[in-house]
Structure 1
Amino acid sequence: MLSRQRLRMRRHRRFWALGLSRACLQNLTRLSLGLPRRACPSPLDLADISDDSSSDGSSSESESESSNSSVDSFELRHDSLHIPRRQRRVPPASSRVLSWVQHQIDEMYSQRYNVPRNRLERPRESTMETCLKKWKHRDKIEGHPIFTNNSNNGQTPVEIQLAVALYQFGHDGNGASLQAVSWWSGLGKGTIPRCTRRVITAILGSGMLAKYVRMPTTAEKADAKAWVEKTSGCREWGNGWCMVDGTLIPLASRPNGFGPSYFDRKMNYSMNLQVVNLPNLQIIDIGYGYVGSTHNATAWTGTRVYRELSTLLLEGEFIWGDAAYPLSRWLSAPIKGPEKETPDNTTFNNHVSYVRVKSEHCIGFVKGRLQSLKGLRLTINNEADHIYATQWIMACVVVHNFALLHEAKLRAKRPTNPNYTSAENDPFIPAHIRNRQQANTESAHQLELETTAAGNRARLAAGKAKRNQLKSYLLASLHTRRQQLGYN
């Protein structure tokens, strides 16, 4: 009897939660006890709950059987109660909450994994994945000794380690945290830094930096010259086929030890990276390892182009830079004020901006593709951490150049261009010029002279003469074009 009473109370609370009226609850209670029900104003049909019961009463035996049958046939713990929609009394607020909960549950189950994830079972590879596997895994990355050990337990597959490193390269902020990468890859938090370090070591230790961050070939150099000539409208400007600019790589936290030296002019702790690029956004040289407080003119001296100007740049060739870089016969920059206010100088500065905008495009493209350079989530506590952050930046530059070269090869090998030839077979500088020791000696002697006051004045005078010559070429070309178009 006690269990039946508890079941009736549980059923009573269930009906009350569904919003039934007091009269219907009383009738349900009477029916559960085997008593005749009263006239219920609600049209609730309870014929399926109890059998036919006479209004005149029955024997105690029939009453007990009816009661037992009603209890057994109406088990709320396993069977759901069906109530017509028009008779449900659910408050509007509760209805909205219930519909929202049901929507969230449906959405959760729609994104659920119905098939167990097994990293050993690989799906069918696409064309891009096949090219990446051929170019990167087999030729360079997979054979590096960093991915081998003497333990009985092998490392994580190289493909997964490479994917983890590229995922960290391509994300910034909370998206690049160890927790986010761990959720994405299914690896432990301690495994993720080790995978990234191995991939960076393999990229920089397998010769990929020398292969992909290189001086352009003759064909690429000719394309760069043609673009500069078309943009500036001056044929003589084609010799300025590359440009240099600096960018700051912000750090997520203040470095310990020499933290103030990392503080830059934009009120951030960062590292300075010098980028020498072509108009096709390919990076041909970098100056790395400098803190954020380093001036671009100082960081520019750490590039290979600056150290080997007479070897890498032929006669008449030069580099475009902004106003932060010192003038020389190898580097041309816009005219500063107050001289820039004259009409001819303003025209010259505008056309220099038309050319130099590709430097801004290159830096924006690199940070857009490898977004970890927008904010490195690395803590620099000592010299080893500083070196690791520098290696991270260099690896991102290599990945950027590799992606550009890979995409160019894919476009070149389309059926619309069957006469494709490899660009690596056409060197930029002949061997007898690259190996000329005399040129290296002259370049080193020239750099030594520039450190003195007399050498600095001579460099500045040569730079101004070169810039005035470029301005005269530009004004002459514009004058010729106006005459051809019939303007006075």
Structure 2
Amino acid sequence: MSAASPESLLDVDMEAQSSSQSDNESDSSISSDFDQEFIAIFERRYCDLVREIENTRVLSPAPPVPKMSQLPLLDHFREYNVERWRRKLQVEPETFDVILSLIQEDPVFYNNSNNPQLPVEVQLAVFLFRAGHYGNAASPEDTAGWSGLSVGGVEKCTDRVIVALLALHDNAISLPNEPEKEAAKEWVEENSCPEWRDGFLVCDGSKIPFFSTTRTTR
């Protein structure tokens, strides 16, 4: 058997390298085509999913939550049982009317939608109900059950009334002048004790007519 010449060995090696390079290019081309096809499929399915979410108002349909509004009872309470009115809204009916007159013209209660907002008095009642309660009773869910509105409707009513009330801040909130301070101090002194007369800004709540301040002895 004759030995192969160096030239023939070189030709074989170059042919092998060329074949290997061709195979690598072929594999790379196949891999690139697969990647592009995979990305195209992913993008198509992603777009289909986004379109489905955008066009579906309720992803998991369920029967509607039954509600029965108790708002009409406020009219009855106003006329026949003011104490029950206070329990719900924490203000007197006259106070409610004054607040309503101050905020009902606020632009926040008007829009250009074909669906008008709820009457301002309803939105104010919803806000006062939440403001006068705490814990779960003040939650949008419990307020929705009381008012017969949706949870989103309760939140919108609350937000709008807060915006309208904040617009009244500079007119409604002001520091007392000196005569008003002195009158308040005299009232505190008469209804509590002389030592507490300077605490006129914290006299809300129960007033206990102590003769003097209590002192702790050790």
Q: TM-score, normalised by structure 1?
A: 0.23
Structure ranking higher in strand proportion: 1
Q: TM-score, normalised by structure 2?
A: 0.47
